[in-house]
Amino acid sequence: MQDTATAPTTVDPSEVERFAALAAEWWNPRGKMRVLHRFNPVRLAFLRERLVTHFARDPKAIRPLEGLRLIDIGCGGGLLSEPLARMGASVVGIDPAERNTRIAALHAEESGVPVEYRATTAEAMAEAGERFDVVLAMEVVEHVADVSLFIESAARMVKPGGLMVAATLNRTKRSFALAIVGAEYVLGWLPRGTHDWSKFVTPEELQAAMEAGGLAVVERTGVVFNPLGDSWRLSGDMSVNYMMVADRPA
């Protein structure tokens, strides 16, 4: 057994504290989490489409993800967990910030959507032998203390034949200009200090970590902001925001 005081962890306490302090803001579409709310249409459509295709589900079904066990790592207030549960998936949302999982659970209950929330980490879940058809790490990779351990733990939880999707920020000059200077200082979309550019992860690094975890990357796509329409869309440009899909061959 590992000594919990010295076991390696992906948790950066200052990051988790910062998100916990914002817990009341999760479901306010015009509040400090507004960027995540603006992301939601494009990433939910992407997830629905890729999951339906991968698991050969009926695209017209109301609950096409019925029977799939899904983990949303770093779920925050459950902005993704809830709609995915509505699509029929059996969702476990985890976050090391207990305030987040409490807010998330309250919101799910009020909405009448069954989601199981746990205040824990990917490494603890993986170590406990938890396995899922779908593993999500959306907008969390750039906040962890140890990317290799984080991705390795997430990958371990993917069942054979299962899928992992990650969304994060690339470490480029452009992401410094747009995601830090633009979003935090000029536009004020995000509270200052939300992101630490040095913790951003390049697609090559993310792909290598996924492959080290036994996964095969099947798709990479950029996500870009469209100022007309105040919305986001998929793009070949991965220089700032991007998503990566990988599977564990059956």
Ligand X SMILES: C[S@@+](CC[C@H](N)C(=O)[O-])C[C@H]1O[C@@H](n2cnc3c(N)ncnc32)[C@H](O)[C@@H]1O
Does 131 count as an annotated binding residue?
no
Q: Are 77 and 83 in contact (CB under 8 A)?
A: no
Interface of this chain with Mg ion, residues 139 to 158, rule: CB under 5 A:
139
Using the minimum distance from each CB to Mg ion, give the nearer residue, 83 or 191. 191
CB of 131 to Mg ion, least distance (A): 26
CB of 120 to ligand X, least distance (A): 9
Distances (CA, A) of 12 to 5, 50, 102, 163: 14, 31, 20, 26
Which listed range, 16-24, 32-40, 137-145, 241-249, lies at the site for Mg ion (CB under 5 A)? 137-145
User: Distance between CA atoms of 247 and 250, rounded to whole angstroms?
Assistant: 9
List of E strands, the chain: 69-73, 90-94, 116-118, 132-138, 158-169, 216-226, 231-235, 241-247
For strands 90-94 and 116-118, give the pairing: parallel
Q: Which amino acid is at 225?
A: F
CB of 155 to ligand X, least distance (A): 14
Using the minimum distance from each CB to ligand X, give the nearer residue, 4 or 56. 4
CB of 137 to ligand X, least distance (A): 8
Question: Quick check: 95 binds Mg ion (CB under 5 A)?
Answer: no
Instruction: Name which of 60, 65, 57 is nearest 86 in CA terms.
Output: 65
List interacting residues with ligand X (CB under 6 A): 10-11, 15-16, 19, 36, 73-76, 79-80, 95-97, 100, 121-122, 138-140, 143-144
Q: Which residues bind Mg ion (CB under 5 A)?
A: 139
